[in-house]
Amino acid sequence: MLLSKSRIEWVDYAKGIAIIMVVIHHVVVRDISSVLYNETLDYLNNLFQTFRMPLFFFVSGMFIHKTVKSDFKLFFKFKIFHLLYLFLIWSVIRYFTVIIPEHILAGSSDESLSSILYVFIEPSGMLWFIYALAIFLLVTWLTSSFSAITLSFVMIFYVLTIQSPVESSFVNNLVQFYPFYLLGYFTSAKAREIANKVNSYYLFFPTLFIPLLVMTFDSPFSNSPTGIFILSCGGILMGIIVSSYLTRFKGLKWLGTVGRNTLPIYLMHYFPIGVLRILLVPILPLPIATAIIIFAVALTGPLIVVRMFDKFKLDWLLKSPFIIKQERKN
């Protein structure tokens, strides 16, 4: 029996899966000397690394066709400015709520205090994703008339950067994830077609892909440009299949809700993670139990905060002034 779910529903599920993997990544402690370190959690988190952000960028690139064809004024006001606005305002929020307190309480370096001055050169923390989306969208808009040539150069830089990463982690991220954004842009129709055809037989793919991911983990193949790209594409395909299949289960509607709120979750999930890591260690020094609690709060907390934003007219924290003005007109 074929699924007859809408494009938006499975995309929300895919975004929900992607943001869950992102939150897990930031919850898991990767410092072996920490009491919260757990080898199993670290291993599972590393397995997700192959396709966690590629899936996120692929889905982000799927629905930009109308945006790319719009005139520059509308394109900049409602897309580029919106992303840059969010990136800047939340960088400032993070600076005053994370960087400065860390400097005062933990004695971090003076260099961290000046990080706000270089935020557009080397974004801090997890906010690089928002900035990257703005750059990817702008580059795609500028090169839309010769996108095939752009893809060729992007893939060349992709291979070179994986083989020899540059000093800037942000530049590495841009080069290594832009191909998947473009892939979503180029193959959006095919991805929707696959999603609309998904049935139980399609689950054979993730059943085979996951063991392949495990067997090739940390192998020369999985660390090569070809291997990383193939496994990432496989992860994206698995994400499409699984998210489309899961839409048939009413008990998983919450996953769609999470997917529709990836922006506030992404922007705010690191606040409870930082606080709870400190508070829970003395009373619950159990890595897995602590990780589950932190994950649950980090994922659901922003959803509660969003309601507070609506109630107290703080929507300007999640929307640019142009978008708010447009919504009030409508």
Pure H helices in 28-127: 39-48, 52-62, 65-69, 72-75, 81-94, 100-106, 110-113
Residues 6+ apart with CB under 8 A from 96: none
pLDDT of 29 strictly over 70: yes
- What's this model's pTM, rounded to 2 decimal places? 0.92
Number of Cβ atoms within 10 Å of the Cβ of 34: 13
Compute the 3-state secondary structure of the chain and give helix, strand, coil in percent, each to the nearest 5. 80, 0, 20
Nearest to 176 by CA among 147, 150, 154: 154
In a domain, 214, yes or no: yes
Q: Which residue is listed with tokens 């993670």?
A: 273
In a domain, 115, yes or no: yes
In a domain, 206, yes or no: yes
In a domain, 27, yes or no: yes
**What was the pLDDT predicted at 106?**
66
**What was the pLDDT predicted at 1?**
34
3-state secondary structure of 219: coil
Mean pLDDT of 61-89: 93
pLDDT of 156 strictly over 60: yes
In a domain, 128, yes or no: yes
**What was the pLDDT predicted at 102?**
74
Q: Give tens-digit pLDDT for 200-239.
A: 999 999 999 999 999 999 899 999 999 999 999 999 999 9
**Higher per-residue pLDDT: 249 or 327:** 249
In a domain, 1, yes or no: no
In a domain, 235, yes or no: yes
pLDDT of 114 strictly over 70: yes
Nearest to 201 by CA among 245, 246, 259: 245
In a domain, 2, yes or no: no
Give how many domains the chain has, as a whole number. 1
Percent of the chain with pLDDT over 70: 95
pLDDT of 33 strictly over 70: yes
Give me the chain's average pLDDT, please: 90
Q: Give tens-digit pLDDT for 231-255.
A: 999 999 999 999 999 999 999 999 9
Q: Give tens-digit pLDDT for 250-280.
A: 999 999 999 999 999 999 998 999 889 888 8
Residue numbers of the domain that contains 127: 7-329
CB 9 within 8 A of CB 39: no
